[in-house]
Amino acid sequence: MSESTFTTVLIGVGNPFRSDDAVGRAIVRRLFGRVPLGITLQEESGDGTELLEAWKGTDCAVLVDAVQSGAPPGTIHRFDAHAEKLPTWFSHCSTHAFGVAEAIELARTMGDLPSQLVVYGIEGLDFSAGTELSPEVAKIVPFAANLVLQEILRLSAERAQLSNQHQTKSAS
């Protein structure tokens, strides 16, 4: 068995032409070059079937998307996809027919969820046509990126530990 058999992916979701909808991608971009080898960073448009592919075969996935729940702009929501269903408002921000929440539920139904899947929702303000984040949302990006980075490092470390324990057991 190779040293590292677990895989981790960080997925930023959004439409870069719908202002704050792209905040998940902005967060992932901020982390380019700041994550250890073995953690894949990926940007997605939010098409659910692409998401199913993006986390397929991974042990651990963190996904960041823009949401519109009515909370103040920049509010950070966190969900453990294994522990709970995403709230219904989660999918409403998607301009795609089959979005994040649908992909998670379909994967759950078919037994295809990664062992760990944490979803961050960043409350957006402006979803109109445009390529800039609103100032209220842009100012949260550095903090949110750091939070997401800490989460993915923690999850990776946990998985590595589990994997090592498994290898030790196999060897003995």
Partner 1 sequence: MNAKSLKVDFLARVEGEGGFRVKVKDHLVTEAKLNIFEPPRFFEAFLRGRSFTEAPDITARICGICPVAYQMSACQAAEDAFGAKPTGAIRELRRLLYCGEWIESHALHIYLLQAPDFLGYEDAIQMAKDHPDAVQRGLRLKKTGNAIMTLLGGREIHPINVRVGGFYKVPAKSQLRTLEDDLEWARDAAVQTTRWVSTFTFPDFQRDYEFVALRHPDEYPLNEGRLVSNKGLDIPISEYEQHFAEEHLQHSNALHSALQERAAYFVGPLARYNLNFDKLSPLSQEAAKQSGLGRECRNPFQGILVRAVETVYACDEALRIISSYDPPDCPAIEVTPRAGTGHGCTEAPRGILYHKYSFDERGLILLAKIVPPTSQNLRIIEEDLTEYVSTRLHLPNDRLQWQCEQAVRNYDPCISCATHLLRVRIERE
Residues in contact with partner 1 by the rule CB under 8 A: 15-17, 44-50, 52-53, 91-92, 94-99, 102, 105-106, 109-110, 129
Of residues 96 and 159, the one with the C-beta less far from partner 1: 96
Of residues 68 and 163, the one with the C-beta less far from partner 1: 68
Task: Tell the smallest beta-carbon distance from residue 6 to partner 1 (Å).
Answer: 23
Task: Tell the smallest beta-carbon distance from residue 103 to partner 1 (Å).
Answer: 9
Chain centroid, CA 87 distance in Å? 15
Of residues 23 and 52, the one with the C-beta less far from partner 1: 52
Q: Compute φ and ψ for 69, nearest 5 degrees.
A: -105, -10
* Three-state DSSP class for residue 144: helix
Q: Compute φ and ψ for 86, nearest 5 degrees.
A: -65, 145
Of residues 44 and 65, the one with the C-beta less far from partner 1: 44
Long-range contacts of 130-138 (CB under 8 A, 24+ apart): 130/17, 130/18, 130/19, 131/16, 131/17, 131/19, 131/22, 132/19, 133/19, 133/20, 133/22, 133/23, 133/26, 134/19, 134/20, 134/73, 136/73, 136/74, 137/20, 137/23, 137/66, 137/73, 137/74, 138/26
Contact 30, 141 (CB under 8 A): yes
Task: Tell the smallest beta-carbon distance from residue 49 to partner 1 (Å).
Answer: 6
Task: Tell the smallest beta-carbon distance from residue 130 to partner 1 (Å).
Answer: 9
Task: Tell the smallest beta-carbon distance from residue 172 to partner 1 (Å).
Answer: 38
Of residues 6 and 127, the one with the C-beta less far from partner 1: 127
